[in-house]
Structures are given as C-alpha cells and as structure tokens.
Amino acid sequence: MNLNWKILVPAGFAVYFLFGMAQLAEAADVAANYKQHCAACHGAERLGGIGPALLPENLARLRKPEAEKIIREGRPATQMLGFGDKLSPDEIKALVDFAYTPIKPMPVWGEAEIRASRIVNFAPGSLPDKLQFAADPLNLFVVVESGDHHVSILDGDKLEPIHRFQSRYALHGGPKFTPDGRYVFFASRDGWITKYDLWNLKVVAEVRAGINTRNVAVSGDGKWVAVANYLPHSLVILDADLNLKKILPVADKDGKVSSRVSAVYDAAPRQSFVAALKDVKEVWEVSYNPKAPEIPAGMIHDFKYREGKFIPGFLNPQRSQLEDYLDDFYFTQDYHEVMGASRNDAKSAVSGQVVNLDVRKKIADLELPGMPHLGSGISWQWQGKTVMATPNLNEGLISIIDMKTWKTIKQIKTRGPGFFMRSHESSRYAWTDSMMSKEFKDTMQIIDKEKLEIVAELKPEPGKTFAHVEFTKDGKYVLASLWEMDGALIIYDAATLREVKRLPMKKPVGKYNVWNKISKSEGTSH
C-alpha cells in the first residue's frame, strides 16, 4: 500500500517559527559583534575591563540614543573609538539593546574577584611625604568632569588648575579624603575604587570592589575604606591600601531578604561606618574600633555572664530595626542620630525619620514631603538653634528643620526640584540649584540663612544646567558648575554674588574642597 503522507503546518505556526529563527539569527549577530568590537575593553561577560561595565544598572543615567551616538562616534579623550564606519545603524541599535539587557543569573563578584583586580602603581611609602608643588594642600579642589571622565586638581588660592588626569568611568557618590587631606578615594559606578595621592598627583592604587557601586567612605582614622554596593548586595571593607579586609553580605536579620546598600558614610566620633539599606527596614552601624564591644546575635539570656550568642563588634553590623526604609540620611552634629528618608513614597507628607544610633530605634518623624535629598543637606545656627536644610528631588522645596525638636520651621518654595545645597560658616548665604527642573535647570537661588528667604537668583547661561557649588577654604569664593560638555567652573565672590572668572571644563559634575570635607564643614555634605 502506497501512502502519500502530507504534513500540514498551520500558517500561524510557520510565521512564528520563522520569526523565532530570525530572532536567533539576530541574537547571534549581536553576540558576534559584541565579541569582535566590544569584549576586549568591556569584558566577555559585560562586567567591564578597560571600559565600563555594560549592564542596565550601570547605564541607568545614559539614555539609549546617547549610547548609540557614543558607539557611532566614540567618546572624545578616551579609548572609546567610533564604530559608525564598521557597524550599521541597526547593528548599533541592537548592541545598545544588548547592553541594556540584564544578565541572568547575575555573576558573582566575591573575594577572589576583588583580590585579583587590585592594581598597585606605587607601593606604600615609595612616594615623597611632602607636597610636590606650591599650593595650600588644604585649599585644593578635586573637580570631577564627567564629560570626558577626567578629574582636575585646582589651587583654591589662585583659582587655577594644577593637574588633570583620566578617571574611571562615571565616578559616583563624591570623593572621600583621609583626615590629613593627602589621599582622596574615588568610587566609579562599576565598582572601581581609586586611591589618589594629592601631594604627588599620582594614582596610587585601584581595586574593583563591586559590579555596581553607590559610594565610598573613609574612616576617621584613615585606616579603613567602606564600599556600598548595589551589585552584588554587599558592604565591602578595605584597608587604606585597598587590600580586601571583609565582605559583609547584606540581608535582614533572618537572612531572608537581600538588600542593596544605598549609601555608607563615616561617623568618626563613633569610630564607625553607618550604612543605609535600600530593600530592608534597617540601618547598619559597623565599628572599625578593634576594641568595640561584642554584638548580641539572637536571644541573650544573660549579658553579664555572656549566656547567649555574641559576635565580635569589630567590622560587624549593629542593626537598628526600623518601621520604614531609610536609603538617604544626614548626621546630627554629635553623630548620635541620623535624619533619614525613604524614597519609596514621594507622595507622603511624612516620609522622614530620626534614628538614634545608641538606642537603635526611631525617636521621631520628620515632615519631609516629596523626595528629600538628605545626603546633600547642610546645617547652620539660626536664632540660637541648630537647623538643617535639605533640597528635594521631586519638587521645588527646601525643608528647614529644627534639629532639637525635629519640627519643620519653614518650607521654602524654589524654582524647581534640586539636587544640591551648599554654604559655609563664614557666609550668610545658602545656595541651591533646580537642576531637576526642565524650565529652571539654569537657575541657582540664594537663601539668606537668617531671614530664611530667597534673596537672589543667578542664571549665567540661559538653558544650560547650572548646579553644585562649593566654597573655598576661607569661604571668600564660590565655585559653581556649568554642567555642560562646553561647560565651566564659574567663580563668584561669596559676599557680592558677582562673577569673578570662568575655568572651561567638560561637564564638571562636582567639586570638593579638601578643608571643607575633612573639617566636616556645616556647609558641605558628608
């Protein structure tokens, strides 16, 4: 019997099959293009190398059209070449989509990876222990230029650049200094920690402490460095030479919920680091005092006779259990409390809390509507009181808070949402930007600290982002960022508010005065 078999394939299935095959082919092409043109610098697994990590978390601030432009044209003053002559527009778009696709499962970045990444350019003690140029070492400025990923060192007396060097990609969270002001530590978004010698103008050492990093903190004694990571969920402790000391996996007390670390800061009088957690309702305090008392773990029957489980107090977390998340905070002057806020509910009128680090619990609520940026908060004396002021990322509002009663004294309406506030002990003014506003990103507003009123506005370049100020050591001058590729540092007389001079720079995102940072000036941030 001759059977004439016919296999009938539904048209819809055929189309689906062909579409799937096309997708597979496209994926193979993207993978091949990445391997050929990108992997040598950005790593076979997209975790970074010479170039930055190409992960959606690390590229959050880079829009896809801008990423396509970078692949097509390259990035000036870097090793990133343009590939517009080698790749078609569709191929470039496919590479960008590939870079913004999460890696699953997320690769590990642990002890072996951190230790293997360490780079030592100059051994400890090999560089001269004195300033190698004529300037006040305590009035230097560190200026981060994100436009071409460089850092400029500025003489704060002459208001002129001294040196400029290439940095890692996307420095994040602000540089931190050793107590003597000699060394400064930078953290890049993709986890690189760089130790720089300001006296010798040299990169001393580097290590990669994570895959996606928020910021770095330096201990009050200059011996320890803490790194807050989003990926992996860890708090990494290094010594001052960037040797790995300890990795603290971050999770709740039961070990069930893992968390990103949104910030870590030094609390020098307490000899500890304090860390805010993004996904767990806790704040951590990690002592770097070798004689720190033991920490009870679990139920303790008798503290006196040590009946129960204890862990060493040195470089282990002391947990404060909270009612809400705390992912941004500001220290009180005595470092007994932190003023913190969750960014999970920007519609709440009361989104802040005061946490006492000694009793390890919330002691007050804060009226902080919108999305306050407490990490950029400042403080000053007002009518016999210490007040704190914070900008707002969600609306044009400055909240002024009494740091004794925790009550809001005043809410000052501004031109729009802002990111930074700055002042100085010798200045009557506080400066705040509206850089998150489309309409008023070009406007800096000046607040009289006694009147609690806006008394002036500065708009040096209409339509161009104008943000982030810092004062000289003596408070005589203010340096503000024209935050553009063809930008500049615009220098003002702090008393008259008149422009003094301009220094051309490429998107200067932030500038940090050594003295103001190491002296914990009330007018600057952590």
- Could you give the angle at the alpha carbon of 199 between the alpha carbons of 196 and 202, nearest 5°? 40
Quick one: 351 exposed, middle or buried, by C-beta within 10 A (0-12, 13-18, 19+)?
A: buried
Given this model, what pLDDT does residue 39 score?
A: 77
Given this model, what pLDDT does residue 307 score?
A: 56
> Is 157 inside a domain boundary?
no
| Tokens 């990322």 sit on residue | 393
Sign of the C-alpha dihedral, residues 106, 110, 114, 117?
A: negative
> Is 446 inside a domain boundary?
yes
If one counts every other C-beta atom within 10 angstroms of the C-beta of residue 125, the result is 6
What six digits make up the tokens of 100?
A: 């913004």
Given this model, what pLDDT does residue 3 score?
A: 45
> Is 437 inside a domain boundary?
yes
> Is 439 inside a domain boundary?
yes
> Is 89 inside a domain boundary?
yes
Nearest to 55 by CA among 111, 112, 88, 96: 96
CATH classification at residue 420: 2.130.10.10
> Is 4 inside a domain boundary?
no
CATH classification at residue 88: 1.10.760.10
* Local mean pLDDT, 10-residue blocks, the chain (526 residues): 47 50 63 79 74 76 80 72 82 83 83 98 97 97 94 98 95 93 97 98 98 96 97 97 98 93 96 96 97 81 59 95 90 94 62 93 91 91 96 94 96 96 97 96 98 98 97 98 96 98 96 96 86
**348 Rama class: left (phi>0) / alpha (psi -120 to 50) / beta:** beta
Given this model, what pLDDT does residue 48 score?
A: 73
- Residue where one domain finishes, among candidates 99, 123, 157: 99
Report how far residue 382's alpha carbon sits from residue 396's, in angstroms, rounded to the nearest whole number.
22
Q: How many domains does the chain have?
A: 2
The distance of Cα 102 from the centroid of its chain, to the nearest Å, equals: 21
> Is 255 inside a domain boundary?
no
- Residue where one domain finishes, among candidates 99, 119, 139: 99
CA-to-CA dists, residue 201 to 84, 192, 470, angstroms = 37, 19, 21
User: Is residue 398 within 8 Å of residue 390, measured between CB atoms?
Assistant: yes
| Residue ranges making up the domain that contains 396 | 390-526
- Residue where one domain finishes, among candidates 49, 81, 99: 99
CA-to-CA dists, residue 152 to 146, 206, 226, 479, 504, angstroms = 11, 18, 24, 14, 11
Given this model, what pLDDT does residue 309 score?
A: 79
- Going edge to edge, which strands form the sheet with 176-177? 119-120, 202-208, 192-197, 183-187, 176-177
> Is 211 inside a domain boundary?
no
Instruction: List, in order, residues 6 or more apart from 114 with CB less than 8 Å away.
Output: 207, 208, 209, 236, 244, 247
- Stated pTM of the model: 0.86
Given this model, what pLDDT does residue 6 score?
A: 47
